[in-house]
Amino acid sequence: MSGTIVTEIRARIAVIRLNRPDVLNAWHAAMRAELMSALNRCEADAAVRAIVLTGTGDRAFGAGQDLNETKTFDPDRAEEWIGEWRDLYGRIRGLSKPLVVALNGLAAGSAFQVALLGDIRIGHPGVTMGQPEINSGIASTLGPWIMREMIGIARTIDLTLTGRMMDADECFRIGLINRLVAAERVLPEALALAAELADKPPLAMRLNKERFREMTEDGFQDALRAGVRNQRIAYGSGEPARMMEQFLAERAARKGKAG
């Protein structure tokens, strides 16, 4: 294991951290696999009654996909990539235990989506969230599905096509952040809420969560099918690789000036 996911058990609560702070906790295949394993262990452990998911550091919950991985994809690897997200998102959606997301900064792209798949989100005024995939040439399918479920089609179109990021006030106003607290209170508040949820009757909790999954399953499966189709088209065209190289070059230039 590479240590990209760190899990700590605090009484009945499992705290899982995304642990690549040097790249703002951006995802790659190993990290997705490790998170799946951590969630599987939590689900199988009868002593764990609630889960808190957060990021290491004070800058980001997660920056989304690591473009250094996806810039090399061909259509076949892009289809496998969608399968990796299917497995991870399906695991999160299938949890019988409540999942509280402690947002400790940026939540972009697929990290934004994972945050929305949690049951309740706690953030602070410095949090920014959004779906900026279009800026790096990635077509969005899973993001629009989960956003539409939560904020409607008009806002989903805005966020998907512009790639703009929302500040914490906007996220709180439209219901994507449930509770807004001071930065140093995010994890304590998430732990307190997780403890409250851990006290709820476990069968009722499981049945409620199963019902929410059933209500959204058709949309999830449709998004996965669209993801395979659209990513094969996109990566076959070469556009994502060109846009990601440009994006990474511009980011490196900005860092060079700042340094």
> Domains of the chain, with CATH numbers?
5-185 (3.90.226.10)
Instruction: Please write the tens of the pLDDT for every residue from 180-198.
Output: 999 999 999 999 999 999 9
Which pLDDT band, with edges at 50, 70 and 90, does 259 fall under?
A: low
What's the mean per-residue pLDDT of the chain?
95
**From CA 88, how far away is CA 67, in angstroms rounded?**
19
Which pLDDT band, with edges at 50, 70 and 90, does 257 fall under?
A: confident
What pLDDT score does 136 carry? 87
Residues 172/125, Cβ–Cβ less than 8 Å: no
Instruction: Please write the tens of the pLDDT for every residue from 115-138.
Output: 999 999 999 999 999 999 999 888
Which pLDDT band, with edges at 50, 70 and 90, does 227 fall under?
A: very high
As beta bridge partners, residue 50 has: 13
Instruction: Give, in degrees to the nearest 5, the angle at Cα 51 between 156 and 104.
Output: 55
- For residue 219, give the amino acid letter: G
Instruction: Give, in degrees to the nearest 5, the angle at Cα 46 between 44 and 50.
Output: 90
Residues 134/140, Cβ–Cβ less than 8 Å: yes
Instruction: Give, in degrees to the nearest 5, the angle at Cα 83 between 85 and 57.
Output: 25
> Is residue 1 pLDDT above 50, yes or no?
no
Region class of 48: left (phi > 0), else alpha (psi between -120 and 50), else beta: beta
